Amino acid sequence: MTVEVRLDQGAIRRLLRSRSGPAYRKLDRRTERVANIARGEAPGSMGDYISSHVEEGPRGLQGVIVCDHPAVRFVLDGTKPHIIVPRRAKALRFEAGGSVVFAKRVRHPGTKANNFLARALRLGR
């Protein structure tokens, strides 16, 4: 008895890469799940700047999560202690202890890194 199996590469490719295919739908659900975790883990309003999508990469489909908040690199990597000076105004204005404070410069102590995106990826597996 002889058994012959023929694979239609076009059909397999469509099954794996088509937007209506099961692989795309599963990857889209998992990517959105990780993005939702990242939104919850992000500090302040940074979660509002997180979006996700599935795209065709060099090795097939890939889930992509993007945070386009202007300060995201400072949060993910942390910062060293530094001095903050005003760019256009004569003084910095901020609140401290419930009152408004003005200063010509501020010694910022730096911030610890908070890689909430990597943490979301680990939690979303």
Q: Is residue 2 part of a domain?
A: no
Global pTM reads 0.77
Q: Is residue 4 part of a domain?
A: no
* Residue 79: domain span: 9-123
Contact 124, 37 (CB under 8 A): yes
The alpha helices in the chain, defined as continuous H runs, are 9-17, 22-41, 72-77, 116-123
Percent of the chain at pLDDT exceeding 70: 100
Q: Evaluate if residue 16 carries a pLDDT over 90.
A: no
Strands (DSSP E) contained in 26-114 are 50-57, 60-67, 82-84, 92-96, 99-103, 106-108
Residue 106, burial from CB neighbour count under 10 angstroms (0-12, 13-18, 19+): middle
Q: Is residue 96 part of a domain?
A: yes
Kindly report, residue by residue over 73-93, the tens digit of the pLDDT.
999 999 999 999 999 999 999
Q: Is residue 3 part of a domain?
A: no
Q: Is residue 118 part of a domain?
A: yes
Average pLDDT over residues 102-118: 96
pLDDT for the residue numbered 88: 92
Report the domain count for the chain: 1
Q: Is residue 91 part of a domain?
A: yes
Half-sphere CA count of 77, side-chain side, radius 13 A: 6
